[in-house]
């Protein structure tokens, strides 16, 4: 699988990773294989599938949860341009709020600070007639619910 991945033959790499997962009995190795698949799918821009494999890695071995949550947080962070509709600053920046949730689950302080820096301002939230702490649905491929948050004032 790794040789095919290096050769950018993603179809064969994916097939061999899936086959290896089917045979693997060690939970840590199985989780690592799932994360390898998640990275392979992310490299192809297949974010829904990539997230699912990261979640499968956590199911296989909880010990990989921090890595998997940070990975998903980074998928979300990289989705701003794909997901923005340029109609609402709050809705567009909700991807960063969802990313923050994933980084928080991972205990990833750096990721949390990166996501927080992209939150809307207090005035953005006020202007949109919303409140910090309200629930907000993140659309696009992410399709999760999170909480409206603001970045610290400068």
DSSP letter at 130? -
Positive or negative, the CA dihedral 96, 136, 151, 68 is negative
Q: What is the rounded (10 degree) CA torsion for 63, 66, 68, 74? A: -170
pLDDT digits (tens, 9 = 90+) for 35-52: 999 999 999 999 999 999
The per-residue pLDDT for 7 is: 83
The number of beta carbons lying within 10 Å of the beta carbon of residue 102 is 26
- Kindly indicate the confidence band of residue 56, based on its pLDDT and cuts at 50, 70 and 90: very high
Q: What percentage of the chain reaches a pLDDT higher than 90?
A: 78
Mean model confidence pLDDT for the chain: 93
What is the per-residue pLDDT for 1?
A: 81
- Assign residue 119 a region (left: φ > 0; alpha: ψ between -120 and 50; beta: otherwise): beta
The pTM for the full model equals 0.91
pLDDT at 153 over 80: no
Residue 83 has pLDDT above 90, yes or no: yes
Instruction: Over range 10-20, report the average pLDDT.
Output: 88
Confidence grade of residue 154 (pLDDT, cut at 50, 70, 90): low
| Greatest Cα-to-Cα distance within the chain, rounded to the nearest angstrom | 55
């Amino acid at each position: 699988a790794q040789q095919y991945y290096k050769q950018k033959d993603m179809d064969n790499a994916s097939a061999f990773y899936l086959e290896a997962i089917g045979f693997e009995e060690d939970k840590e190795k199985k989780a690592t294989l799932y994360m390898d698949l998640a990275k392979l799918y992310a490299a192809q821009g297949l974010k829904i599938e990539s997230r699912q494999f990261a979640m499968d890695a956590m199911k296989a071995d909880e010990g990989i949860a921090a890595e998997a949550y940070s990975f998903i947080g980074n998928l979300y962070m990289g989705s701003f341009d794909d997901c923005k509709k340029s109609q609402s600053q709050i809705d567009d920046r909700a991807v960063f709020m969802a990313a923050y949730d994933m980084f928080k689950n991972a205990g990833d302080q750096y990721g949390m600070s990166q996501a927080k820096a992209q939150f809307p301002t207090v005035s953005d939230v006020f202007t949109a007639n919303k409140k910090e702490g309200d629930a907000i649905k993140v659309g696009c491929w992410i399709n999760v619910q999170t909480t409206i948050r603001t970045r610290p004032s400068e």
